[in-house]
Amino acid sequence: MAAHETALPTPVGAQTTLETEPHLRGKVLLLARLGWVTLVTLYLGLYVAMLPTYAQILRTTCAGDTCSPEAGQLTAQQAHALLGAGITTSHYAAMMVGISVFGTLIACAVGVLVFWRKSGDRIGLLVSLLLMVFGVENLNALVRSVPGQWQFIANIMSGFFFFLLYLTVLTFPDGRFVPRWTRWLALVTLVAMFLSIMVSSSLAEEIISYAWYFTIYVSMLFVQVYRYRAVSTFTQRQQTKWVVFALCIVILVNLVRWFILPFIPIFNDPNSSAIVFQAALWPLVTTLIPLSFGIAILRYKLYNIDILINRALVYSSLTAILALVYVGSVIGLQRIVSRVLIGQGASTLAIVVSTLLIAALFQPLRRRIQQTIDRRFYRAKYDAVRTLEAFSETLRHEVDLTELSEHLVAAVHETMRPAHVSLWLAKLEQTSAQRPE
């Protein structure tokens, strides 16, 4: 019997020196944990103290430039529409406070878990601190827009949150500044945040602020792309995929809120109670971010992200195509059928036929989109599946052991791409056993 050692090739971009995150030890670790506890206690204490002010702002209607609809504040017309639906401003405020507390509890629960498991790593400590202050930002978005005793404190808390987010993106997922010059960019950002909070705003300062924020976002994108392509190992790339996938969903929902919902009549009507859905959607969707960070840092089922991305590509494409086909078929059939039928009959028939068409197209179109996406974005997996299907078909017809062995070796080589493949078949010794008659 011959034993063969198989040496598998190292993935592109993999560097074993980056497999482990830099650890904190001794007094440095103790001071870091004490600082974490102090900041979290202060931050959550201020959050609890600001909740009554947050609820009071939600119970108060606004008008003109003083409104902050993106943070859930109501106009007089929206409050009247909610009252017509049986929802008072007090009920609305209680619901929004409940959603804020719910999102904060999820972020804090993940943050505590990450701190418990990974506080010895710099990135684990940083991410856990970010998650502990993450849920407070939805509250700050409304409080800092209304002049009052909490406005200045809310601005400081929001600035601290943004700096933590920026620092996390620069060092995720291994806790190092890559490239190294980004540490100076983080220091400049901290100083700029402090000055923007302390100095009164003006038009020139706002223009500079927007330019600076644009630079920050571009640098975050550059760092993560550079890490993914040139530095990250395979595991670190899976960690990055989880966070980026959650961020893409949040950004997509935000784009829908700003550019699609306003064109839907029920959401554009000031007398509609749909404000409840719009206000609750954003804080609920943003809970995906702390969950994705928790999965990435704790490395819980990292490899499922490829399945999620694949399904998201398939079903988002399928939904968009079917929606276009449905709208187009309804409009086209209505024009065609209206020449024969007049009135409601034409519209009803067009809707029925379009629905049947969508039902008939769903499965064939889904399979075609799945094959296209697998072929374009998951070529190795697509080729492996086709190879295994061909080998399964061979098993049904091939009876020669030598030929079958060659097919098996070829299938393993095509699907797994090892450096060396060998097949050893053991001969079973036939032994005769005497049975009592």
The residue from 347, 377, 407 where one domain ends is: 377
Q: 177 and 82, same structural domain?
A: yes
Q: 328 and 254, same structural domain?
A: no
Q: 152 and 109, same structural domain?
A: yes
Contact by Cβ (8 Å): 245, 308: yes
Domain membership of residue 351 as a residue range? 313-377
Cα 174 to Cα 123: distance, rounded to the nearest angstrom: 6
The residue from 247, 268, 300 where one domain ends is: 300
Q: 142 and 117, same structural domain?
A: yes
Which tens digits make up the pLDDT trace of 17-35? 344 456 778 888 899 899 9
Q: 341 and 199, same structural domain?
A: no
pLDDT of residue 17: 39
The residue from 346, 377, 408 where one domain ends is: 377
Task: Check residues 158 and 198 and name the one with the higher pLDDT.
Answer: 158
Contact by Cβ (8 Å): 131, 108: yes
pLDDT of residue 135: 76
| Two tokens, residue 171 | 């060092």
pLDDT of residue 22: 62
Which tens digits make up the pLDDT trace of 295-354? 888 887 776 777 777 777 787 788 878 878 877 777 777 777 666 655 555 567 777 777
pTM exceeds 0.75 for this model? no
Q: 159 and 49, same structural domain?
A: yes
Mean pLDDT score, 239-243: 88
Q: 208 and 171, same structural domain?
A: yes
Q: Which residues pair with 121 in a beta bridge?
A: 23
Q: What percent of the chain has pLDDT over 90?
A: 6
Q: What is the CATH number of the domain that holds 91?
A: 1.20.1070
User: What letter represents residue 231's amino acid?
Assistant: V
Residue 173 lies in a domain: yes
Residue 150 lies in a domain: yes
Mean pLDDT score, 52-77: 75
Q: 95 and 55, same structural domain?
A: yes
Residue 279 lies in a domain: yes
Which tens digits make up the pLDDT trace of 378-390? 555 555 556 666 6
Number of domains present in the structure of the chain = 3
Residue 424 lies in a domain: no
Q: 334 and 408, same structural domain?
A: no
pLDDT of residue 437: 43
Q: 407 and 282, same structural domain?
A: no
Compute, in degrees rounded to 10, the torsion defined by CA atoms 116, 120, 122, 126. Answer: 20
Query: In the predicted model, what is the mean pLDDT of the chain?
Result: 75
Q: Is the pLDDT of residue 55 over 80?
A: yes
Task: Check residues 116 and 265 and name the one with the higher pLDDT.
Answer: 116
Residue 111 lies in a domain: yes
Q: 282 and 180, same structural domain?
A: yes
Which tens digits make up the pLDDT trace of 267-284? 766 666 677 777 778 888
Residue 428 lies in a domain: no
Residue 1 lies in a domain: no
